Amino acid sequence: MNILVAVNDSISSRAMLDFFINMELCAQDVNITLIHVFRKPSSGEELMGQKFMKELPTRFTSVLQKAKDRLVEKGYIADKIETKLIEVLYPTISDGIIDEFNKKKYDMVVIGRKRMSKAEEFVLGDPSAKLVRALNGTAVLVVKCK
């Protein structure tokens, strides 16, 4: 089974990883790809400066490695866990996940989801709904954070 897990440094991502780790999967039969997708920066992020933006790949490489380490601690096989930092700038995180999904056959996609207000959902869109629609015929596990 090939599983694509989208990771970032948010509370919802940590909750998703906790949930995923506690699922009863046969570690020997699972290949996991942990990814972090970069999106085009907002004007506010651009104001933080080039130094901040240049540090992001190092920061998220560390986030991916910590996620891998947690999976290995729980019995998953290190050689069956790949980490990918997707540095192509996508308009949305969902677009990056869909693009990565289309490059390799995955049986399941796992993402975390934070609670959004109706206004946020209207303006920003709902990434989980977009993934469920776009990845028709594939299991999409959305772990909602409180």
pLDDT digits (tens, 9 = 90+) for 123-139: 445 677 788 888 888 89
Which DSSP letter does residue 63 get? Answer: H
The whole-number average pLDDT for the span 88-97 is 86
pLDDT greater than 90 at residue 83: yes
pTM for this one? Answer: 0.81
pLDDT tens per residue, range 25-80: 887 889 999 999 876 655 555 555 555 556 667 778 889 999 999 999 998 999 99
Q: Which CATH number is correct for 2-144, 3.30.70.2500, 3.50.50.60, 3.40.50.620, 2.60.120.260?
A: 3.40.50.620
**Domain extents in the chain:** 2-144
**Distance in angstroms (rounded) separating the CA atoms of residues 19 and 23:** 7
Region of 58 on the Ramachandran plot (φ > 0 left; ψ -120 to 50 alpha; else beta): alpha
pLDDT, residue 122, reads 45
